[in-house]
Amino acid sequence: MDILDLIEQNANSLPEVTARGVTAAIRHIRRAEKHFNDARELQDRELLNDVVYRTNQAFEGMLKEAYRALLSKDPTKVSSYQIEEEFSEGGVLARRVRVLFANYRQDWRNPATHDHTMTFSDQEALIAIMSVSTFAAVLLDQITEVVSAKTEQEATRQERGVLSDELDSYENLSFRDQVISLVELFLDSRMRQREEMPSIREVEIIGRLAGFVSAMDEAIVVQEQAEHDNAQPDLLLRKEDEISLIEVVKGRRTRTLTIFARDRVDELLSCYQSSHAVVVFVPDSPDGDYYRDEIAGKSGRSIMVISPSRWDREY
């Protein structure tokens, strides 16, 4: 697997300006790889400094695109240092991204920026390439999820009147059943028979679902990066004093995946003191009927599973 090819491919689903910026950042990493190979072939250790210079450029570039996508701010109006400071102080970046951000900034970005006499070894240059590549891939997931949510939210608001007609006695339902109804409506109206389904990523589905739910019921607070004691559900939904969790699985439903999702969600339910959750299976070709079945976690809490009628019951 070429992680840079994967990043560029995943960026194609983003708005053109963001996709272009991500691609530019990846070009810096590709150039860093070339400098690394040339340094070994030519026995020119000075090129290893150029490796880190290029990975720093990629680091800056990805942060600028995150600044644009996550905060809806123009990165051309602020310095790279200001962007880094805002991300380091705020709670914008997801936990996994924050860890990679802090490590790269401490180990590579700051030393190379503030010490012009610094030199790097083969191993250090290689680690810099690997570190910034991983950071770019994980950050791109968060960007994709947030952009997908914003796009879906805007589209759903324009169609909310028509879509609401498909919800039967919605206001009289419990919060649990409201969440289930919204998930099923999302699957029916947004995911069924989509030509791009084989290529759509799980993070994009999560983002779209978040945007759809928040647009359909503005009383529901949707959190896409909810964190508690290192536990992080795909989506956390709050309405007044109730909490519901949603776990999205891209792919066909199997017994093994069902057990895995059940155990993961059961831990999340205990962590968030929630009484119910929904696991959603979205296969590449969701052209059949969806159906629901309720299972209980080890704690006895309710877990609703929504999946296509044609699912593999084998391990």
- Average pLDDT over the chain reads 88
Residue type, 238: R
pLDDT at 311 over 70: no
Separation between Cα atoms, residue 211 and residue 23, nearest integer Å: 26
Per the CB < 8 A criterion, the answer to whether 39 and 125 are in contact is yes
Sole residue written with tokens 């609703």: 304
Separation between Cα atoms, residue 207 and residue 224, nearest integer Å: 8
Higher-confidence residue of 98 and 224: namely 98
Separation between Cα atoms, residue 154 and residue 208, nearest integer Å: 10
pLDDT at 40 over 90: yes
pLDDT at 287 over 90: no
pLDDT at 209 over 80: yes
Output the DSSP codes for 49-91: HHHHHHHHHHHHHHHHHHHHHHH---GGGS-HHHHHHHHHHSS
Separation between Cα atoms, residue 90 and residue 85, nearest integer Å: 8
pLDDT at 310 over 80: no
pLDDT at residue 64, rounded to an integer: 96
pLDDT at 193 over 70: no
| Residue 172 CB-density burial (10 A; 0-12 exposed, 13-18 middle, 19+ buried) | exposed
Q: Which pLDDT tens digit goes with each residue over 128-165?
A: 999 999 999 999 999 999 999 999 999 999 999 999 99
pLDDT at residue 229, rounded to an integer: 62
The domains of the chain, with CATH numbers, are 3-143 (1.20.120), 166-308 (3.40.1350)
pLDDT at residue 155, rounded to an integer: 94
Q: State the pTM of this model.
A: 0.89
| Residue 168 CB-density burial (10 A; 0-12 exposed, 13-18 middle, 19+ buried) | exposed
Per the CB < 8 A criterion, the answer to whether 71 and 65 are in contact is no
pLDDT at residue 314, rounded to an integer: 46
pLDDT at 194 over 70: no
pLDDT at residue 315, rounded to an integer: 37
Higher-confidence residue of 196 and 82: namely 82
Angle between helices 16-42 and 122-164 (to 10 degrees): 170
CA distances, 127 to each of 84, 114, 140, 185, 212 (Å): 21, 19, 20, 46, 40
Q: Which pLDDT tens digit goes with each residue over 101-127?
A: 999 998 888 777 766 778 889 999 999
Separation between Cα atoms, residue 182 and residue 212, nearest integer Å: 8
Q: Which DSSP state fits 105? A: I
User: Lowest-confidence range among 42-46, 170-174, 279-283, 293-297?
Assistant: 293-297
